[in-house]
Amino acid sequence: MDGMVLKEALKISDLLSEEGAHFQMSTKYNDHGEEFFMEDDYGSADEDEDAHRKIMNPWDKSFDELRAQMFLVSDDVYKKITKEGVGSDTVPDRARVTVDYNAYFEGEAYAFDSTSMRGEVKIFTIGKAEVLVGLEEAVKSMKPSEEAQFVIGYQVLFGELGCKPRIKPKADALFIIRLVGYTDPGDAEALDNLSQEEQMSYAFVKQKVTDIRNHAKDFFKRNMITNAIGDYHKAVSSLERCNIKNKEEEDEQTETLIQLYTSLAVCYNKKDNPRRACSMINEIRRLGNIDKMSRALFHEGRALMSLGDYGRARSSLLKAQQLEPTNKDIIKEMKILNERWEKHRQEEKSICARAFGLKERKDEQRTDEQIRFTDTMRTTLQAFMEDDKSKQLTLPEGLTSKEIISVQQLTDEFNLKLSLYKDNNKGFYRLEKKPTVE
């Protein structure tokens, strides 16, 4: 019966009658290829799929078989390292730790507890009984950035009785844990004693922002871009509200904000939201000299290209390429831009020719007179673009069809709009500056 669906809806009155209800079932429903999710602004299908994989139990055999592949950490905790950590020191007593974990009971497909599902990390202090004893013992065996699997006995989890109906008696559990990092025990105790004002200090917020950024990076790697954006904005908000006491802290705060806004531009481009990406780039301009930041310029160019602002996109990418001449990503993006821009030019040229009643001619040789006209117009347009007060430029009367085509080609180069208007029954051509994207 799995996968079958009613062809006609049933009526409650029919079901309750003595005669009952007759219905038909189709087994072709699975052939329709329909998707059982609704894609919206909160995330993509990729994100949903990734989150689903994350909370599914990766082990479908008995815990005894899994323990056979592990080593003993303590009497009730077995461990298997899946990714080596950094450094040689494991977590000391009284340290404040940040972890990301999923927890599963034996034989169950889905996690009963998961920081990934909640979209947050777990922060607690070793030795303060803030989490289950077994979880704390497992984490104490880890190094920063380490990922590991633990089979933890019921004795150090929920005990013999468990917590019915959700937790069965004597319930062992599989914990998959990633240790994001930890603070020195002395630092952790000092943080507990900070006043509200002190907790707004840069020194305190700096560590908080580091943890949030690590979490955001993890979301990005798993293609959970919406979650990453939320974390990056949270880090920006924390950093912009903190108290700065000297120039050194101010410079470091500015540098971190630039990195955060750049990461946000990357995320918004990946989410195909180029306007928001441009907004993040504008924040970077407010903070520093973007012309020295190739990564920011690259993603500005990508966003502007998505918006169809090819002239400014080319300018940003060229600046990025000047900073990193051999960067393959920039070279590739320039190639994509040139192809799109050329296609756009050809389309606009064709539209303009039809709009002004001109005939398109291919492979026509340009005369010296045409070349001089184009050079003169280019000089005129350069002066027009440099004059911030001028928004429109009316072209002289009597231009030939070839001269109009030359003007149209220059409008692409200078990112201008060419339009035709009438005054006293006479037709005039006018150039207008396009509005900039904020």
CATH number reported for the structural domain that contains residue 157 in this entry: 3.10.50.40
> Which of 137, 163, 192 is the last residue before a domain boundary?
192
What DSSP letter does each residue of 31-65 carry, written as one string? Answer: GG---SS--BTTB-HHHHHHHHHHHB-S--S-HHH
Residue 429 in contact with residue 394, Cβ under 8 Å?
yes
Q: Are residues 45 and 67 in the same domain?
A: no
SS (H, E, C) 207-270: HHHHHHHHHHHHHHHCCCHHHHHHHHHHHHHHHHHCECCCHHHHHHHHHHHHHHHHHHHHHHHH
* C-alpha gyration radius of the chain: 32
> Which of 131, 161, 192 is the last residue before a domain boundary?
192
Residue 224 within any structural domain of the chain? yes
Residue 162 within any structural domain of the chain? yes
**Can you read off the two tokens belonging to residue 190?**
């000092």
Q: Collect the ranges in the chain with pLDDT lower than 50.
A: 1-10, 12, 15-16, 25-54, 360, 362-364, 437-438
Q: Are residues 171 and 200 in the same domain?
A: no
Q: Are residues 83 and 138 in the same domain?
A: yes
CATH number reported for the structural domain that contains residue 384 in this entry: 3.30.1370.50
User: What percent helix, strand, coil does the chain show, rounded to 5?
Assistant: 50, 15, 35
Q: Are residues 218 and 290 in the same domain?
A: yes
> Which of 276, 307, 342 is the last residue before a domain boundary?
342
Q: Are residues 262 and 234 in the same domain?
A: yes
Strand order in the sheet with 392-394: 392-394, 426-433, 416-423
Residue 357 within any structural domain of the chain? no
CATH number reported for the structural domain that contains residue 338 in this entry: 1.25.40.10
Q: Are residues 104 and 234 in the same domain?
A: no
Number of other residues whose CB lies within 10 A of the CB of residue 78: 22
How far is 256 from 180, CA to CA, in rounded Å?
19
Residue 353 within any structural domain of the chain? no
Residue 235 has a pLDDT of: 86
Residue 210 within any structural domain of the chain? yes
Phi, psi of 125 (to 5 degrees): -105, 130
Q: Are residues 186 and 228 in the same domain?
A: no
Residue 152 has a pLDDT of: 96
Give the residues across from 105 on adjacent strands. 173
Residue 272 within any structural domain of the chain? yes
Residue 391 has a pLDDT of: 85
How far is 47 from 263, CA to CA, in rounded Å?
18
- Judge if pTM exceeds 0.75: no
Q: Are residues 205 and 336 in the same domain?
A: yes
Q: Are residues 90 and 103 in the same domain?
A: yes
Residue 202 in contact with residue 242, Cβ under 8 Å?
yes
Residue with tokens 């777990």: 122
**Can you read off the two tokens belonging to residue 54?**
């994350």
Task: Sort 107 into a burial class: Cβ within 10 Å, 0-12 / 13-18 / 19+.
Answer: exposed
Q: Are residues 9 and 47 in the same domain?
A: yes
Q: Are residues 392 and 425 in the same domain?
A: yes
Residue 355 within any structural domain of the chain? no
How far is 298 from 336, CA to CA, in rounded Å?
13
Residue 173 in contact with residue 215, Cβ under 8 Å?
no
Q: Are residues 74 and 154 in the same domain?
A: yes
Domains in the chain, number: 4
Residue 293 within any structural domain of the chain? yes
Domain extent for 402: 368-433
The amino acid occupying position 25 is: M
